[in-house]
Amino acid sequence: MITADAAGTWTLGDQTVNRMGFGSMRLTPNPDLAVAREVLRRAVELGVNHIDTAAFYVSPGGILDVGTGAARFATELIRAALSPYDPSLFIATKVGPGLLPSGEFEIADTPVRLRAQVEENLRRLGVDRLDLVNLRLTRRGGSIADRFAALAALRDEGLIRHLGLSNATLEQVDEASAIAPVVCVQNSFALDLRRDEALARASAVRDIAFVPFFAIAGTSREDGASPVTDDAVTSVAAAHGVTPHQVRLAWTLHQGDNVLAIPGTGDVSHLEQNIAAAALRFTPEELARLN
Ligand SMILES: NC(=O)c1ccc[n+]([C@@H]2O[C@H](COP(=O)([O-])OP(=O)(O)OC[C@H]3O[C@@H](n4cnc5c(N)ncnc54)[C@H](OP(=O)(O)O)[C@@H]3O)[C@@H](O)[C@H]2O)c1
């Protein structure tokens, strides 16, 4: 069985993780909690030690579920399945967008609300310190200094080990880096979503991880994976005896040693396929075709 170390490792701040990780956003739609537990346990069993989450990854009932206490939170599914956590496990979360206790959606932009979201993540994950907090921006461009400084203060206080950004531009990465170290940038990126190709390379130069989301879903974004009809992808997949989704995922890992994968799934067989994609190696000709 291929394991998550097949694509090598990257060091996030002070902790080395396998480049093939796991995103937890797709765990919450399924009301069968045993499936989420199985997916998470299998991920770790197959060597995943970098998991992405957010306190607002919640069952599709959203506001209603939170209000009635019936919500399934990805953070709590992670805690139930994996705590006490192995020290090798690195859990990245994000703040900015969030859910108030009433279930209403918010964009935290004050130190008080950012702290409240950090504390919510600590509580739901059941930890004293968060490995990584990404400031998830809802607008690309503009100053983020105040919000990032508020998170840097929480890092100084010991509530957070490392900081990152999500949905950021290079200017915002550089602005944040002048305040505190930025260990990763998490932006949408896929074969058909390539706005941030230059940012992935610029991150490498700065020793910052570039962590794409929607590597499989691409332009379908939140709607999830759609059938892949692209000739180049389907022919490369056939040549390797894998699925087009695995090719899309593996392509991101070919974009630089600093690129980490966090494919999301609520399905154990998809999880196993995704981890197996860590072992795919494309020839220059295949990469040229995919590009
Ligand atoms: N920073 C941000 O703003 C942000 C935004 C979105 C997501 N994220 C993070 O990034 C992670 C990845 O994003 P994502 O989950 O939206 O997109 P993704 O990983 O590109 O794709 C997930 C979709 O692909 C399907 N899928 C996964 N593996 C598959 C396979 N081997 N074969 C066929 N279908 C497969 C999933 O459905 P099944 O469940 O049926 O497998 C789901 O519909 C998320 O889980 C989350 O942790 C971050």
Q: Which atom of ligand 1 is nearest to the CA of 134?
A: 1
For the chain, how many structural domains are there in total?
A: 1
Residue with CA closest to ligand 1 atom 30: 270
Position 246 scores a pLDDT of 98
Percent of the chain whose predicted confidence (pLDDT) is above 70: 97
The CB of 92 under 6 Å from ligand 1? The reply is no
Position 102 scores a pLDDT of 82
Q: Which atom of ligand 1 is nearest to the CA of 216?
A: 20
Catalytic residue among 10, 22, 56, 57: 57
CA dihedral 8, 11, 14, 18 (to 10 degrees): -40
pLDDT averaged over every residue in the chain: 96
The CB of 212 under 6 Å from ligand 1? The reply is no
The CB of 115 under 6 Å from ligand 1? The reply is no
**pLDDT by residue (tens digit) across 257-288?**
999 999 999 999 999 999 999 999 999 999 99
Ligand 1 mean position to 259 CA, how many Å? 16
DSSP symbols for 73-123 = BHHHHHHHHHPSPPTT-EEEEEESEEE-TTS-EEE--SHHHHHHHHHHHHH
CA–CA gap between residue 36 and residue 214 (Å, rounded):
20
Position 10 scores a pLDDT of 98
For 280, the token pair is: 């795919």
CA–CA gap between residue 17 and residue 280 (Å, rounded):
18
Please indicate whether residue 85 is annotated as part of the active site: no
Position 228 scores a pLDDT of 83
Residue with CA closest to ligand 1 atom 47: 23
**pLDDT by residue (tens digit) across 216-258?**
999 999 999 988 889 999 999 999 999 999 999 999 999 999 9
Higher pLDDT, 123 or 70: 123
The CB of 252 under 6 Å from ligand 1? The reply is no
Q: Which domain holds residue 168?
A: 4-290
Report whether 245 contacts 18 (CB < 8 A): no
Ligand 1 mean position to 180 CA, how many Å? 29
pTM over 0.85: yes
**Which CATH number is 117's domain given?**
3.20.20.100
Question: Given ligand 1 and candidates 2, 20, 25, 52, which is best to mutate, with the most ligand atoms within 8 Å of its CB?
Answer: 25
Q: Residue 217 has what DSSP assignment?
A: T
Position 70 scores a pLDDT of 72
**pLDDT by residue (tens digit) across 21-70?**
999 999 999 989 999 999 999 999 999 999 999 999 998 766 667 666 67
Position 125 scores a pLDDT of 98
Residue with CA closest to ligand 1 atom 5: 213
